[in-house]
Amino acid sequence: MFSKIDKSRLIAIKNDKILVLEKIGEKKKYSLAGGVKKKKETDIQSLIREAFEEIGLKLKKKDLTYFLSRKSASKQKQEIYKHYFITIKPVKNIEVLEINKFKKVLWIPWYDALEYLDKDDRSAITLYFDQFRKQVN
């Protein structure tokens, strides 16, 4: 029997930059804001709570657009689903609040961030910008 874990991730966009959190550790690693859904939460409620806990970002449902969900590799009989949401809302007055997990919060050109993101986040970001560029041109 597999247990299911749902995670929500924020893709915050400003021009060609994305908002990332730099993780604490020897090796440079970035993460998108977000985290694990609690039992009674929806995916979007989870993201709103996590973004506020991690960086003090106050989001509302209307600020977010569902983008896609992906099933990740299973570990120890767990199925992990990541749900990605986009916001283009201006992001102000943010800082790392979970200082035990993250060094800093940064706006980075999306293509510069890719090599430091995990496989799922990298794939979602690439897909978004590939689609976005085709719509703009």
User: Cβ atoms within 10 A of the Cβ of 25, count?
Assistant: 9
Helix (H, G, I), strand (E, B) or coil at 3: strand
Q: DSSP characters for 10-47?
A: EEEEETTEEEEEEESSSS--EE-SEEEPPTT--HHHHH
Query: What are the pLDDT digits (tens) for 33-59?
Result: 999 999 999 999 999 999 999 999 999
Contacts (Cβ under 8 Å, ≥6 apart) of 122: 114, 115
Using CA atoms, how far apart are residues 32 and 14, in angstroms rounded to an integer? 14
Give the sign of the dihedral formed by CA 109, CA 56, CA 59, CA 70: positive
Confidence of residue 60 (pLDDT cuts 50, 70, 90): very high
The tens digit of pLDDT for each residue in 2-18 reads 788 999 999 999 999 99
Surface-to-core class of residue 85, CB atoms within 10 Å of its CB (0-12 exposed, 13-18 middle, 19+ buried): buried
Q: Cβ distance 12 to 34 under 8 Å?
A: no
> Model-level pTM greater than 0.85?
yes
Tokens linked to 135:
């719509």
In this predicted structure, the answer to whether residue 134 has a pLDDT above a threshold of 60 is: no
